Each structure stands twice: as C-alpha cells, then as structure tokens.
Amino acid sequence: MMKEHNWIELTIFLKDDPPTPLTSISIDNIASQIASIFNCGVSINDVSNSITVYFKEEDLFKDKDAILKNLLNILGNIKFTLNINQLKNEDWHSSWKKYFRPIRIGKRFIVTPSWERQFYDATDSNNSQGINANDPLVIKIDPGPAFGTGTHASTQLSIELLEKIWEDAKTRIKAVRVLDCGAGSGILAIAAAKLGASKCVLIDIDYDALKEAKKNVCLNKVQGKCIISETKCNELNEKFNIILANIEKNVLVNLSKEFTKLLLPNGVIICSGILISQKRHLISAFKELSLYPILERTHKEDGEWMAIAFKKKTHH
C-alpha cells in the first residue's frame, strides 16, 4: 500500500523594502527557482507578496539545513519572514482552492480545477459534432504537490508553442508520439493528448509527481493515450516526434544528448523554464547536437521567461 505523506506548508512573506524592491517578475522568478530546485508545489499570492512551498514532512526535516541554505541563496538581499504549517495529505484541496482559478492559455486551452464550473470541451465524449481547429480544449487539474497548474509562465509558454508546432506536425504525421520529460502534474502531456497525439509518455524523477500525473490523466479521460513511467530519460528505447521539457536550463543542457537520441528525424523539442538571459547558452549547447531553434516565445506579462522550440536537423 502506498504511504500517505504529511506535508509542510512553508509560506515566505517577502518584504518590499529597499535595496531590493519587489516586482511581479521578481516574485515569479523566485517561485520558479524554488519549484525547480526543490521539485515541489509552489503557489504565489500577489496580494500579500508571499510564496507558499509544499514539502514532504520527512524531506523538510531530513534536509532542513540544506533547504534553508538554498532558500537564502535564492532570496539574496530580500527581507522575509516565514510561516510553517503542517498539512495532512487530504488538506491539499482546501489549501489550493484559495489560489487556483480557471485560466485561458493560448488560443484553445482552458485550465481549470476539478471543482470549478464546467466548460465546454471539444474532446468530451458527449460531443457528436466532431472537433474543429478552433474548438476549446479543457484541461482539468486536481492540484497536488507536483508542479504544473498552468499558472506559471513556463507552463503557459510550453502550451502556446505546442499549439503552434502541432499545426505543422498534424499535417505531416498521422500518429504523433510525445514525450513529457519532467511531467509534474502531467498538464503538458494532457494538452498534447487533447490536441490529438496518438501516444504520450510521461516521466519524472519524483514518484509523487507521477501519482499526481496519473490522477490528472484519468480526470481528463486521456489514459488511453498516456503511459506514465518511472523510466529514466537515458533508459527509454523508443523515439518521439515531440519532446516537452519544462525544466531548468542546466538540466536541459545535461539531457540534451539524450533528447537528440530520442527525437525522430525532423522531431521537435519544446524547452521552457528558461530565462531570457540563458537563451544564448542553451541555443549554443543544442546547436552542437544539430538541434536548431525554429520558434520562440516570451511571456507577455512576465518578460523574463521564454520558451524555445528546437528541430532536429537531418543529414542527407
């Protein structure tokens, strides 16, 4: 039987004082770094200038010194106070309901918590009219400790680029196979499945994230297309038309050789979780492996974040 965890809700209240005044960009940047380094659920409250981080109780107390050191490095000169609260596993919903509301992403997607009112979804089994290119696609997310509720810029950029790339892929390929590397909540693979992917493989180094991904895949009724796996990136033995990788830049670079092996000819990898200042380094590293940028997008409201789509160049 799977062990149920208790969780620690660690809320960081940031002070808007000189010499480091806060902006929405700086708060979002801090939250993203925390989510990436600790591989945990994070929520932002813009009203109170606070970031809430969710740790497994045993992980927090086992590595509390290292966690505190990393937090101090991320926060730098920003003044802050901490509030710690223990949550039972079943308290997740009541905690996240305070922050999570439906959000529109790209041209077609609506990401909504499972408890909100229903939206029309073109992929619903009750739809007998067929799916048109502009019909809305709804992703239901039941929030848990895994990263990816659609509120972060990197998730939104990934979905927006996926929509763009999909238009080309579906005209060339009858059965599109997708890998979601660092799947978190499963939101990106679910988006690909809703668009029409024939197969989506979801992998993550965090077993709890895979549990959340499985729940969300079932919630969206795309389990027939999705395979959730503990297999590591370098152990996969199949190839994909599209790879989705919303992970930190250094991890993207470290995995770049594996991505090249996993991509089919003319395959595309969509990389997000990238700061604009990291763009040149990432492009340079990927070009060495014949992965060339074909499309990029910067977040309209949070100008620090971007996503880049790379295509595998084939040699004749």
Residue 194 sits in a domain whose CATH number is 3.40.50.150
pLDDT band at 13 (very low <50, low <70, confident <90, very high): very high
Report which of residues 233 and 129 the model is more confident about: 233
Please tell me whether the overall predicted TM-score, pTM, comes out greater than 0.75 for this model.
no
Residue 272 has pLDDT above 80, yes or no: yes
* 158 and 298 part of one domain: yes
Q: How much is the pLDDT for 9? A: 83
Q: What is the pLDDT of residues 148-171, one digit of tens each?
A: 667 778 889 999 999 999 987 776
pLDDT band at 76 (very low <50, low <70, confident <90, very high): confident
Q: How much is the pLDDT for 212? A: 87
Q: How much is the pLDDT for 2? A: 40
Report the Cα–Cα distance between both ends of the chain, in Å, rounded.
Answer: 53
**Residue 144 counted as domain residue:** no
Domain hosting 69: range is 7-96
Q: Are 146 and 91 in contact (CB under 8 A)?
A: no
**Residue 106 counted as domain residue:** no
* 166 and 307 part of one domain: yes
* 197 and 292 part of one domain: yes
Give percent of the chain above pLDDT 90: 40
Counting the structural domains of the chain, the total is 2
Residue 301 has pLDDT above 70, yes or no: no
**Residue 129 counted as domain residue:** no
Tell me how many degrees the CA angle 96-99-105 measures, rounded to the nearest 5.
110
**Residue 305 counted as domain residue:** yes
Report which of residues 144 and 47 the model is more confident about: 47
Report which of residues 16 and 228 the model is more confident about: 228
**Residue 34 counted as domain residue:** yes
Q: How much is the pLDDT for 279? A: 93
**Residue 133 counted as domain residue:** no
Q: How much is the pLDDT for 131? A: 56
Q: Which of 56, 77, 96 is a domain's end point?
A: 96
19 preceded by cis ω (within 30°)?
yes
Q: Are 290 and 266 in contact (CB under 8 A)?
A: no
Q: Are 28 and 152 in contact (CB under 8 A)?
A: yes
Q: How much is the pLDDT for 143? A: 65
Q: How much is the pLDDT for 98? A: 60
Give percent of the chain above pLDDT 70: 80
* 156 and 275 part of one domain: yes
Q: How much is the pLDDT for 216? A: 93
Residue 237 has pLDDT above 70, yes or no: yes
Residue 109 has pLDDT above 50, yes or no: yes
Q: How much is the pLDDT for 142? A: 76
Q: How much is the pLDDT for 128? A: 42
Q: Which of 52, 71, 96 is a domain's end point?
A: 96
- For 231, the token pair is 């297999």
* 298 and 211 part of one domain: yes
* 285 and 156 part of one domain: yes
pLDDT band at 193 (very low <50, low <70, confident <90, very high): very high
pLDDT band at 130 (very low <50, low <70, confident <90, very high): very low
Angle (deg, nearest 10), helices 24-38 and 153-172: 70
pLDDT band at 1 (very low <50, low <70, confident <90, very high): very low
Alpha-helical (H) ranges within 185-262 are: 187-195, 207-219, 249-254, 256-262
Q: How much is the pLDDT for 69? A: 86
Mean pLDDT of the chain: 83
Give the domain CATH number at 50.
Answer: 3.30.70.100
CB contact set of 107 (below 8 Å; sequence gap of 6+): 134, 163
Residue 126 has pLDDT above 60, yes or no: no
Burial class, 204, CB count within 10 angstroms (exposed 0-12 / middle 13-18 / buried 19+): buried
Q: Which of 71, 96, 121 is a domain's end point?
A: 96
**Residue 79 counted as domain residue:** yes
